[in-house]
Amino acid sequence: MKISAQEEYGLRCLVQLANLQPGESLTLPQIAEREGISTANAGKLMWLLNKAGFVHSTRGTKGGYFLARPASEVRLNEVIKVLDQDVLNKHCESYTGVLDSCVHNGDCGIRPVIVGLHEIVENALSQITLAQLVGTESSVDAMFHQIKGIHRTLEAQRI
Amino acid sequence: MKISAQEEYGLRCLVQLANLQPGESLTLPQIAEREGISTANAGKLMWLLNKAGFVHSTRGTKGGYFLARPASEVRLNEVIKVLDQDVLNKHCESYTGVLDSCVHNGDCGIRPVIVGLHEIVENALSQITLAQLVGTESSVDAMFHQIKGIHRTLEAQRI
DNA sequence: GCAAAACATTATTTTTTTGTCAAGATTGGT
DNA sequence: ACCAATCTTGACAAAAAAATAATGTTTTGC
Ligand code: FES
Ligand code: FES
């Protein structure tokens, strides 16, 4: 269970744009330099995000990228879904094994785990907006702990 | 954010062993056939799980694999951690980009998200044991929804 | 003791993911 | 009109992950 490079860098690029003042924009070389990735790579990421409608772009001199929506209205689960090539949902069909579908079709004890995990992650991500990621690390961390705090309570009860 | 093939299949193999009666065991070909993967692949997975101490094995004719601990004492977060090559924790050092470490070292808004997500997943997994996965799909699903239910409550409050 | 059945371990191949390159298209300034 | 800065897009190459193959070791049963 890990976050893919595309998910992470795509999100990072969006955060860079979220840091801008209204009216400002960033070019590909600027984004690439600020995140320490190549311009070509940033280009592909931004192309994805543009296609998905998260950013707008202007061509030509003085062009660049800027957020299409206010950062406070962009939830992280939407972003991740786009960057992850939508392979998350339909798990049982795209089975890597020899068989076409999962051998446990009909009554499967694994499916709830896979699906449930994705739901938990999605739910956590849906509670975070881009705007919440522009602050200092400690403020972001504190925000995140509100979500995790609920879990700790549950765990404490269980023991 | 997705579960890797190794995580999924390793977990599946363990569930197969958890289904056994005490004293029984499964051979590699049996495990492979039940999960629809190749014998060689199952062999590698079981080797990992054996090395990590989750299963014991006996060689020779009438050999096979069986759980080293009761299924009710094996938590999923331990299993996943072993199958995922421990790359989960130290994220900021193993940065794929051009730089040695994350460009935001010192004050990073992304780090809490990465770390926090892993903690949330780990926490959820730590609440599930192998024994809970041997039932019918609906029973496993119901168990999982107890965990997710907490999230729903939180979400409802937020709105 | 020998052969068959089974696990153990390392190496190789295949597939998927990630990152790069290059040619094209659009805009703004001069 | 021209040029330079910029995004766009598809093809390509490198890296990582996954799966397979190959070889070796141990045990059982005869
Ligand atoms: S039926 Fe899809 S994971 Fe089992
Ligand atoms: S410092 Fe590690 S993700 Fe930013």
Question: What pLDDT does residue B74 have?
Answer: 97
A123, B151 in Cβ contact below 8 A? yes
- Across the interface, whether the CB atoms of B120 and A118 are under 8 A apart is answered no
Cβ of residue A110 lying under 6 Å from some atom of ligand 1: yes
CATH (domain of B68): 1.10.10.10
Number of domains in chain B: 1
Question: What pLDDT does residue B98 have?
Answer: 40
B129 Cβ contact list (under 8 Å, min separation 6): B71, B72, B73, B74, B75, B76
Continuous segment of H or E residues that includes residue A118: helix A111-126
Question: What pLDDT does residue B117 have?
Answer: 87
- The structure tokens listed for B83 are 């199958």
Is A104 inside a domain boundary?
A: no
Q: Which residues pair with A66 in a beta bridge?
A: A56
Q: Which residues pair with A83 in a beta bridge?
A: none
Is B36 inside a domain boundary?
A: yes
Is B49 inside a domain boundary?
A: yes
Is A144 inside a domain boundary?
A: yes
**Can you spell out the DSSP letters for B90-138?**
-TTTS--SSSSS-TTTTS-SSHHHHHHHHHHHHHHHHT-BGGGGSS-HH
Question: What pLDDT does residue A96 have?
Answer: 47
Question: What pLDDT does residue A149 have?
Answer: 55
Question: What pLDDT does residue B92 have?
Answer: 72
What spacing in Å lies between the alpha carbon of A108 and ligand 1's midpoint? 6
> Which residue range forms the structural domain that includes residue A43?
5-85+129-156
What pTM does this model have?
Answer: 0.88
Minimum Cα–Cα distance from A153: chain B residue: B150
For residue B7, give the nucleotide whose C1' atom is nearest its CA.
D18
Is B101 inside a domain boundary?
A: no
Question: What pLDDT does residue A19 have?
Answer: 94
The C-alpha atoms of residue B13 and residue B20 are separated, in whole angstroms, by 12
Is A141 inside a domain boundary?
A: yes
Which residues of chain B have a pLDDT value below 50?
Answer: 95-100, 153, 157-159
Question: What pLDDT does residue A38 have?
Answer: 95
Residue A95 buriedness (CB in 10 A; 0-12 / 13-18 / 19+): middle
pLDDT means per 10 residues, chain A with 159 residues, are 92 95 96 93 97 96 96 96 75 54 68 85 90 85 73 50
Is A123 inside a domain boundary?
A: no
SS3 B141: helix
Question: What pLDDT does residue A99 have?
Answer: 44
What spacing in Å lies between the alpha carbon of B108 and ligand 2's midpoint? 6
Is A115 inside a domain boundary?
A: no
